[in-house]
């Protein structure tokens, strides 16, 4: 993967992270975090996965 492609992936993952964090905030603000715990936990998993992937791509870029 070229550095440009890797940067594109990092940027797209950042969009996923930002959108997921915004959704989590809405869940928390409206009390849905308790009412829809399974969905809230899935969102946390998505966020965790996106952050890990972004970190991996960043580390590879720093090593290039």
CA 46 to chain centre: 6
Please tell me the total count of domains within the chain: 1
- Which structural domain, as residue segments, surrounds residue 59? 3-63
- pLDDT lower than 70: segments of the chain: none
**Predicted pLDDT at 64:** 74
As a whole number of angstroms, the distance between CA 20 and CA 48 comes to 10
Could you read off the pLDDT of 31-43 as tens digits, one per residue?
999 999 999 999 9
């Amino acid at each position: 993967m070229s550095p440009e492609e890797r940067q594109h992936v990092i940027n797209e993952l950042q969009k996923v992270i930002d959108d997921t964090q915004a959704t989590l905030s809405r869940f928390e603000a409206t009390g849905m975090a308790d009412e829809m715990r399974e969905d809230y936990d899935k969102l946390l998993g998505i966020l965790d996965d996106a952050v890990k992937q972004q970190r991996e791509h960043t580390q590879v870029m720093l090593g290039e």
